[in-house]
Structure 1
Amino acid sequence: MNALRRIAPALCCTALCGLALTACGDDGLKGTVEDYDTVTVWSDPGPGGRQTGELTTLAPLTVSCYEDGWFKISYDGGSGYIDSGTSILSKKGEVAPGMVPTC
């Protein structure tokens, strides 16, 4: 019984990590921007980045990873970072940081 108590948490962690990684696949997690006028795309995460583009509602994009409050994305016409508070809808539901790997 004690061995089961030690193994069970490790098995749960392994299963959850596997689910998180398979949720995005090799190419990232595909989705669309939800209800916004525009979403600014930045060259780098954080205050040091420069604006490189804008996306509008229903613009398709791919989220490849999460880094300190930012999603790294690619879209038709470029790539960059958007604030992770941006609502992105995928086939798996609204994209959250735990659904994609860390950059």
Structure 2
Amino acid sequence: MSIPIRDWQIEYSKEKGLSLINLVEKHKVTYGNYPKSFSEIKGKMNLKVPKWTALGTKYTYDFFENGNYIVGFKSYYGYDLYYDKLNKEWIAYD
């Protein structure tokens, strides 16, 4: 029973993660650049930004000097999931 629940939690966390990515992209459209942190979105746009996944782990956001970014989170199974915005898919890393 726990495996279907964990799978659902991972999939739901991915969906919530996509809402974060949409907020990051909305910030870029509105302000002309990607935010340096989730708190910048919350402060400038006065929007609720989800911090926790359905797994109980925190979403991460890394902003790079080249203007790119990564949104990710850690799963139950010990791997990290990151969204590949170029290919529009979640990638798992050990």
How would you bin the TM-score normalised by the shorter chain? 0.3 to 0.5
Normalised by the length of structure 2, the TM-score is: 0.36
| TM, length-normalised to structure 1 | 0.34
In proportion to residue count, which structure has more helix? 2
